[in-house]
Chains A and B, each alone.
Chain A
Amino acid sequence: MVERPSTYRIRDAGRKEEGVTAERAKSRYSAMLRIRASEEALQKLFADGRIPGFVHLSIGQEAVAVGVSSCLRDADTVSSNHRGHGHTLAKGVELEPFFAEILGRETGLCRGRGGSMHVADFSKGMLGANGIVGAGLPITTGSALALKLLGKGDIAVVYFGDGALAQGLVHECINLSALWSLPVMFVCENNGWSEFSPTSRQMATSLRKLADAFGVEYRAVDGNRVSEVAATAETLVAGMRKAPAPAILECATTRVRGHFEGDRQDYRTASEIQSLPARDPLSLARAEMQVEGVPPDWFDEVAKQIAVEVNNAVAKALTAPPPIDADLAAGVYAGMGSK
């Protein structure tokens, strides 16, 4: 069911010529590293008391966002959840306004009104992270309806966790999208945790069974192997563009950090935590790419570039001013009629 990427093609005896597959692997690795480096920067900023409010990091889950987004184009829409930094950056959102938003600055994507849980960038088709578990599903289903009516083959993607499966909205939206053949891809990041409780104690069924019940195409992948996520997403997306229909992609993944930054995670066992490094999506991708001949230098170079990129973005965002006090109510309505 899962397509493995083909190996590099050697075109020239004297020089290793990397094919399209290698370029894609590199681009995906860079995208994952950009997310990782950004979230590590956020982790540090939070620890230093520079980020107000709550921050939920997706470290360990980067391969899902990047694998899926690598199959998307600008006009496709995505929406996300409280753990949405990766989904946002993978859709092509720029770093500086992203950091500025999470730092609560006027130059932020949402002018400091949303913060970490509400980052949105409509210019990139990113309809918003969301603070309400499961709320992205109907919004994305509606976006898929709009895209289907527009008839250009664009699709809508919603990322949600296994914790959201207990929400009634999930069932309503799978039903409606199947009934109406809407081009919505439901991407479940199954990290085994519903906030602070194991999902095994929350759900009496599985997403696979739900998909089956509603007759919706379903694929399960190792969500920490970006090549696997991308290959499967590619197959699903290609089908959805040709003939609008929903699809469900369940990605087994790992939440490395707590539910939120500051969560002591007393509820996790040592053995689970010790198992996480072996499942690291960046290490897994690197190992795969090294087997295919990508040299260590390349990884060092890209790490250096991204560190500079992230540091610069954070530094600029930190100098940005907070929102203007007098503008508090300015954006509550788009139009105020004749009042």
Chain B
Amino acid sequence: MAEKHFIRAINEALADAMSADERVIILGEDIAAAGGSFKATRGLLDRFGDKRVFDTPISEATIAGVAVGAALTGFKPVVEIMFMDFVTLTMDMMVNQAAKAHAMFGAQRSVPMVLRTPHGGGLSAGPQHSQCLEAWFAHTPGLKVVCPSNPIDAYGLLRAAIDDPDPVIFVENKALYAKRVEMPEEWPQIEIGRARVARRGKDVTVVAYGAAVDWAEKAAEELARDGVGVEIVDLRSLQPWDETSVMESLSRTHRLVIAHEAVEAFGVGAEIAARMADVGFDELDGPIIRVGAPFSPPPFAPSLEAVFRRDANDIVAAVRRTLR
């Protein structure tokens, strides 16, 4: 069986969505002729032409706004924002326009657009090219947010996001772009809002998404050597998030760790922890522990970034602490 890179899965999902529905158009900086900063859109201009694949000026707010307007006029735009740090420039269009339109206009029209963007550090890319800002969007009623951890989910979630009637923020972790998997016969369909139990274990649940799922896998291997069974719930979708699956897992293991690359304070993990402390209170045999980045901008110096970034060791420590 063939192997598939994460970035190729994105590329194939875009191509297949464009073949399936001629209303799908893609826009972004350097995505057409140059094939994208990370080559996610390579070959699409040649295949679909310049009436479907658009190189835009460096005008992020307008790129997002044009997608909103095109979506409100019957198209299904997919935009690429080169680094998630640049979403700050799109915020009015995403938060005040795309997110609100369906509710604010009394359900007359929805905004079926996707904003693809890479997050994550580890490249010494510095404070403005490394951030994980997905919690901002998950906090905004009207937006959906997904973040795949592997090529198969990347394909399935991107197809689901493009088919979705609502605006979807599709977050890709840069560290995963080179990740490969054995390809199944065909790409499975994945629904937004449904988590995946990535590993079964009886002692503790680790909820993670994106690159943190890999950290959890590594931590689980290490803990298994000590006889600790880790169950990993790969969230896949952050808004809506699969509260049922997390609750089911917690009711099997009675301990909960939540891990993400984003800053810990006021993050996705905080929401999950608060909900589980409420609806899952009777199931808990230990404290809910979050693993997330410290409250600092991502630093440049490799030595400092290593201090800033979380990894499998942090999850191992968190698991041991909740099992104490």
State the A residues within 8 Å of B (CB): 77, 79, 108-114, 118, 120-123, 127-128, 130-132, 135, 137-147, 149-150, 156, 168-169, 172-173, 175-176, 179-180, 329-339
Contact = CB atoms under 8 A, between A and B. Distances in A.
B290 interface: no
A168 to B, nearest CB: 7
Contacts of B75: 145-146, 149
B108 A110 contact: yes
Interface string B47-58: 000010010110
Given A332-B142, A334-B165, A337-B193, A122 B108 contact: yes
Contacts of B77: 142
A110 B62 contact: no
A96 to B, nearest CB: 15
Contacts of B66: 138-139, 141-142, 145, 176
Given A113-B106, A172-B59, A338 B194 contact: yes
B69 A169 contact: no
A122 B109 contact: yes
B93 A138 contact: yes
B92 A142 contact: no
A329 B107 CA distance: 11
Nearest to A112: B106
A170 to B, nearest CB: 10
Contact of B96 (A114, A131, A179): A131
List 10 A-B pairs, minimum CB-CB distance, nearest first: A138-B65, A142-B69, A111-B106, A334-B110, A146-B73, A142-B66, A110-B106, A334-B165, A139-B69, A172-B62
A110 B106 CA distance: 4
Given A138-B64, A138-B65, A336 B240 contact: yes
A72 to B, nearest CB: 15
Contacts of B69: 79, 127, 138-146, 156
Interface of B: 25, 51, 54, 56-57, 59, 61-62, 64-75, 77, 92-93, 96-97, 101-110, 112, 141-142, 144, 160, 164-166, 191-194, 237, 240, 242
Contact of B68 (A108, A112, A142, A329): A142
Contacts of A150: 74
A138 B240 CA distance: 28
Given A334-B166, A337-B193, A339-B240, A110 B59 contact: no
Contact of A142 (B65, B109, B144, B164): B65
Taking each of B75, B194, B237, which has the highest tally of chain A beta carbons within 10 Å of its own beta carbon? B75
Nearest to B243: A339
Nearest to A330: B107
Contacts of B105: 109-110, 113-114, 118, 120, 122, 128
A274 to B, nearest CB: 38
Contacts of A127: 69, 72-73
Given A143-B72, A335-B165, 13 more contacts: A112-B106, A122-B72, A128-B101, A138-B66, A141-B62, A141-B69, A142-B70, A142-B73, A176-B56, A332-B103, A337-B192, A337-B194, A339-B240
Contact of B102 (A137, A175, A332): A332
A78 to B, nearest CB: 12
Contacts of B65: 135, 137-139, 141-142, 169, 173
A145 B64 CA distance: 13
A137 B97 CA distance: 12
Contact of B61 (A79, A128, A156, A169): A169
Taking each of A128, A137, A139, A179, which has the highest tally of chain B beta carbons within 10 Å of its own beta carbon? A139
Taking each of B61, B96, B192, which has the highest tally of chain A beta carbons within 10 Å of its own beta carbon? B61
Contacts of B64: 138
A101 B73 CA distance: 22
A138 to B, nearest CB: 2
A339 B242 contact: yes
Nearest to A138: B65
A238 B54 CA distance: 27
Nearest to B101: A128
Nearest to A120: B105
B164 to A, nearest CB: 6
A239 to B, nearest CB: 21
Given A135-B65, A172-B59, A337-B192, A110 B104 contact: yes
Nearest to A111: B106
Nearest to A335: B165
Given A331-B102, A332-B142, A149 B72 contact: no
B96 to A, nearest CB: 5
A127 B102 CA distance: 12
A329 B71 CA distance: 22
Contacts of B194: 337-339
A339 B193 contact: yes
